[in-house]
Structure 1
Amino acid sequence: MNKHITPAEAAALIPDRAIVSVSSSSGLGCPDLMLKAIGERFETTGHPRDLTTLHPIAAGDMSGIKGVDHIAKKGLLKKIIGGSYPSGPSSSEPPLIWQMIGGNEVAAYNIPSGILFDMHREAAAKRPGVLTKVGLDTFVDPEREGCAMNAAAEAEPVVKRIRFEGEDWLYFKAIAPQVAIIRATTTDERGNLTYEHEGAYLGGLDQALAARNNGGIVIAQVKRLAKEGSLKPHDVRIPGVLVDYIVVDPDQKQTTQTLYDPAISGEIFRPLDSFRVPEFNIQKVIARRVAQELQSGSAVNLGFGISANVPRILMEEGLHGAVTWVIEQGAVGGVPLLDFAFGCASNADAFMPSPYQFTYFQGAGFDASLLSFLEIGRDGSVNVSRLSFRPHVTAGAGGFVDITARAKKIVFSGMFNAGAKLGVGEGRLVIEKEGKLKKLVNAVEHVTFSGPRGIAQGQDITYVTERCVMKLTPDGLLLTEIAPGVDLEAHILDQSEFPLLVSDRLKVMDAALFHEAPVGLTLPAKARRVLGGAGHG
């Protein structure tokens, strides 16, 4: 059987009202040509109609890889379930999918990426669904938004809160796709797929199994065709028995604004001096202070934002390799990349399939996570997933909820308020003009991380800003450090909507953080692991 067909022929295979699962993480691994073909077919014929699409991480990013916006058309999409969505600067035109979500033209849900992968796995095994504590007391919980992003979604809930064995759990029903659209680098004539130019494996195997085991079809977009029998079996990530159709796009990009970089796919290693060190500014000061929270020998998750610069801080301080970075797209080790290549890593030790990386995160097998915040609430809760006054700038939560659900230690970083005019140098912070928007608020708009649940679980939670460091305690947020040059009352206490506790041992942040030269960072060694009773809660 010849599995190689045109994009238009593949798009014609998708029936009306189908559930379609798409594998990508923004531009990374995005089957953009296939999504374009589906959109073009709808424009020409009016079909397929009323699709439900699943995007466990995200599809497309509006920076050269249009992704989900190819199919963001009224009548084509009825329901969309994503780990995250394309975002853009507040000055730009919102992505088409955000216009549909805001206009209530599509029922839209934001389910944590790891749970979405779990839903595929349960569907593949024909089990009823996912029982999890991930997402309790966050926007995922039906006692809050229940993952719904608009009124159209509220009418059809995707999650229930239930009692099981005397405890509260969240239950997500498994979703069986009729079509899985995945991506790889190479296929042979039998449909065996290899990923040698890809920056991650993502979750294509789980998505293919979910479709195939439930009578659906699997369409793979690839860069090139190879002769049957020419691929090494150990290199094949998805066997041809799971692949029904092949679409070739010789021009597919490796990731956003990147046609192909062999260091992203682990084919070569870059010299360390080829990585850009962050320029000296306020964000670098914060990243340096975040780095002081680490221990040598740890496995540390890394999120988008200021914390993404921490690996470069360690590199500048001569500590590259002291920490192993683990990111949700699957890279383990190496140097996580920035900007448009975020989600990829150069010089990685290994690539884990994303569903298994999320299993690692959900079970708290790693040591710490470095993440950002948009808002911090009186109870220590954090919002990274929604700002109503600029919704298309916030992309959704992605794997944030999976990662923070049980993480032993979390360091949140960000600016203390928004819009402040700041200066830094000579060992001190200068606040020239205060920002107009407070980020420490009585109640966050969207609970992406639950402070009360963090306290109940004994999680170690730290918040690092340019002007202070705070810890979450059962009594509230405790101010533990203050930047040199900052006035406690005027610049911190008066800039919060709620009272902050002040430690009776309040320290001044290390002045070296506020100098351009390296700080001479040292990391204490992580304690050796010992066997002990780990709870399942």
Structure 2
Amino acid sequence: MNKFIKASDVPKLINDGSTLLLDGFVTISVPEEIYYEVEKSFLETGKPRDLNLIFAAGFGNAKSGTGLNRFGHKGMIKKAIGGHWGLAPKLGELVNQNEIIGYNLPQGVIAQMFRDMAANKPGTLSHVGLGTFVDPDLQGGKINSITIEEIVEKLHLNGRDVLFFKGQKGDIALLKGTTADCEGNISVEEEPLTLETLSMATAVKNNGGKVIVQVKNILKDGYIQPKDVKIPGIMVDYVVVAENLDFHKQTFIEHYNEKYVMREKIEGLTVEPVKLDERKIIARRCAMLLTRDKKILNYGIGMPEMIATILNEEGQEEHFIPTVEPGAIGGTPAGGLNFGASIYPRAIVDQPYQFDFYDGGGIDTAFLGLAQCDSEGNINVSKFGPKIAGCGGFINITQNAKEVVFCGTFTASGLDIAIEDEKLVIKTEGKIKKFIKDVEQITFSGNLARKNGKKVTYVTERAVFELKENGITLTEIAPGIDLEKDILAQMDFAPLISEDLKLMDLRIFKNEKMGLQL
């Protein structure tokens, strides 16, 4: 059999009703040329149709309709099990319209499920998801009314509650690499992440399915060296050599940036200070929570990305090792559509193993976004009205990090602030309250956190809260802020107020460097 085919041949290899395992993270490791041809075939011929998708992370660009969005057509998809949905609003629309069956499970659990599928295990056991919408006592991960089958079961083993995630089967794996040799061995030297590539290939091959890998290069003479092989040729059925390199970028933003796959120490790096706004205020206060014994960090996407910038600006970055859930360890995490990659990382591991490290308590401090919070300290980042964002790795990280910091603005949509005489001034209040009576969906359980004795802090530009035994408690207030007008009146519940209510550190509100020493 000739393993080398064109991307346009791929749709013919996918039967109607097949289950596809799809790999990618934001805009990394996405075999876009294959996706383009599969979408094109469906739009022109109506085939393949009624597909089932399983993906751990969300990936694609909603504006350009790329990545997972290429599968977001009525009739093309029957069911989807995904970790993060926010980058694929077309799939989310199908869920909201009850056009497809939909599940949202923790990203790390799905990554580990792929590995368990490879070994033909009956399913995946995990404590991740207890007390959240993934728990069968709540929603069991089901995200619309036509999704009926229970695929999450609660068990009690060895004196503890755990969740059992029902095993799945894969018929097709669509993957991305860098180079293929004449035997179909695949290397990933230009990929910023390795994700679940090997686990997916093994799972599909052991199920008698087809493994299809898109690459950039063919090594016509010789072989990829054994330790450089990411997917052995015995697991690869077909190789697609990308014809349009715009469909085979390192990320959707960059064709190739060697900094994402190299280790290098930069001496004397100078960083241009960022402007003093609400993001910088929040990031500064978050950075102050660190000490040098809290060495291993995780930054979520969005607001938390700024914390690395502050540590760099203050000359403190070298004392900490940031990690990103898809597998990068060390370096400086990239942002925006390059999120997931790190500049000059120390190591890159497969995503299931990164989540093994996370789930076992490897993170000292995790910084995650704050979208909705209630009086119990519950957080929702996964569902907002009709918008299905998905939990991604949020549940794995927040349940298992030794300390969790949620960071975000106090209100959303239109908030405008200023710093005058080193005091915070709310010029225009945001239209949307974040501190509400009941979160729409529990992505982080305050009750479970209290039960486990976890330290939890909520940082905004005007106030800092801590999760105490009796509920969420206001501990700090920004200079210039009126407690009644700017805090209590902008909340749908009355927080506890610390008897030792303090002003936030005045250095946070100054234009010059803080002189942070951790």
1:411: Cα distance to partner? 0.4
Q: Distance in 1 between matches of 2:254 and 2:394?
A: 25
The whole-number CA distance in structure 2 between the counterparts of 1:31 and 1:357 is: 22
| 1:158 paired residue number | 151
Deviation at 1:268, TM superposition (A): 6.4
Residue 8 of structure 1 and its aligned partner are, at CA, apart by 2.0
Residue in structure 1 matched with residue 114 of structure 2 by the alignment: 120
Residue matched to 2:14:
14
Residue aligned with 1:28, SS: coil
Among 198, 204, 211, which residue is 1:205 paired with? 198
**Which among 468, 490, 496 is matched to residue 473 of structure 1?**
468
Shift of 1:230: 3.5
1:513 Cα deviation from its structure 2 partner: 0.5
Question: Which segments of 5 or more consecutive residues in structure 2 lack a partner in the other structure?
Answer: none
Q: Provide the residue aligned with 1:69 in structure 2.
A: 69
Match of 1:50 in 2: 50
Deviates more, 1:162-171 or 1:201-210: 162-171
Q: Do residues 178 (structure 1) and 171 (structure 2) align?
A: yes
What letter corresponds to residue 49 of structure 2 in structure 1? Answer: R
Shift of 1:275: 6.2
Deviation larger for 457-466 or 159-168: 159-168
Measure how far apart 1:321 and its partner are: 1.4
Could you tell which deviates more after superposition, 333-342 or 233-242? Answer: 233-242
How much identity, in percent, do the aligned residues show? 37
Distance of 1:75 and 1:274 partners within structure 2: 53
Give 1:456's aligned residue: 451
**RMSD of aligned alpha carbons:** 1.8
Structure 1 residues 272 and 445: alpha-carbon distance in aligned structure 2, compared to 1, 3 A threshold: farther
Q: What secondary structure is seen at the aligned counterpart in 2 of 1:325?
A: strand
Aligned-residue offset at 1:76: 1.6
Whether the 8 Å contact between 1:63 and 1:257 is mirrored in structure 2 is no
TM-score by length of 2: 0.95
Q: Runs of 5+ in structure 1 lacking a partner?
A: 89-94, 524-537
Change (3 A) 1:128 1:182: same
Q: Is the 8 A contact 2:103 2:141 kept in 1?
A: yes
Correspondent of 2:422 among 417, 422, 427: 427
Contact 2:375 2:493 in 1 (8 A): yes
> Hey, what does 2:161 align to over in structure 1?
168
Whichever residue aligns with residue 197 of structure 1, its letter is E
Q: TM-score, normalised by structure 1?
A: 0.92
SS of the aligned residue for 2:451 comes to helix
Aligned length in residues: 513
Other structure's SS at 1:237 match: coil
Task: Give the whole-Å Cα distance in 2 for the aligned partners of 1:373 and 1:263.
Answer: 30
Task: State how far apart, in whole Å, the 2-side matches of 1:137 and 1:176 are.
Answer: 27
Contact 1:386 1:445 in 2 (8 A): yes
Aligned positions of 1:300-319 closer than 5 A:
300-319=297-316
Question: What secondary structure is seen at the aligned counterpart in 1 of 2:175?
Answer: strand
**1:263–1:8 distance in 2 versus 1, CA, 3 Å:** same
Q: Structure 1 residues 271 and 194 mapped into 2: Cα distance closer, same or farther (>3 Å)?
A: farther
Aligned partner letter, 1:264:
Y
CA drift of 1:376 comes to 0.6
**Alignment match, 2:213:** 220
Shift of the alpha carbon at 1:208? 0.8
Alpha-carbon distance between aligned partners in 2 of 1:55 and 1:109, rounded to the nearest angstrom: 11
Secondary structure in 1 matching 2:286: helix
Code of the residue aligned with 2:135 in structure 1: it is D
Matches within 5 A, 1:412-423: 412-418=406-412, 419-423=414-418
Rate the CA distance shift 1:168–1:302 in 2: closer, same or farther, 3 A: same
* C-alpha distance in structure 2 between counterparts of 1:25 and 1:457, whole Å: 31
**Take 2:239 and 2:393, find their aligned partners in 1: how far apart are those partners?**
29
Q: Equivalents in 1 of 2:86, 2:455: separation in Å?
A: 31
Listed one character per residue, the Cα deviations across residues 454-484 of structure 1 (whole Å, up to 9, x for unaligned) are 0001111000000111100110111111111
CA contact (8 A) 1:278 1:309 kept: no
Alignment partners' CA distance in 2, 1:18 and 1:344: 31
Instruction: Tell me the distance in 2 between the aligned counterparts of 1:68 and 1:122.
Output: 23
Q: Counterpart of 2:348?
A: 351
Deviates more, 1:415-424 or 1:202-211: 415-424
Matches within 5 A, 1:379-528: 379-388=376-385, 391=387, 395-418=389-412, 419-523=414-518
SS in 2 for 1:441: coil
**Structure 1 counterpart of 2:27:** 27
Q: Match for 2:513: what amino acid?
A: P
Partner of 1:290: 286
Secondary structure of 1:29's match?
A: coil
Give CA deviations for 1:139-171 in whole Å, capped at 9, x if unaligned. 111222211222222x22321223334432211
Deviation at 1:63, TM superposition (A): 4.9
Alpha-carbon offset, residue 434 of structure 1: 2.8
Q: In the alignment, is the contact (CA less than 8 A) between 2:186 and 2:233 conserved in 1? A: yes
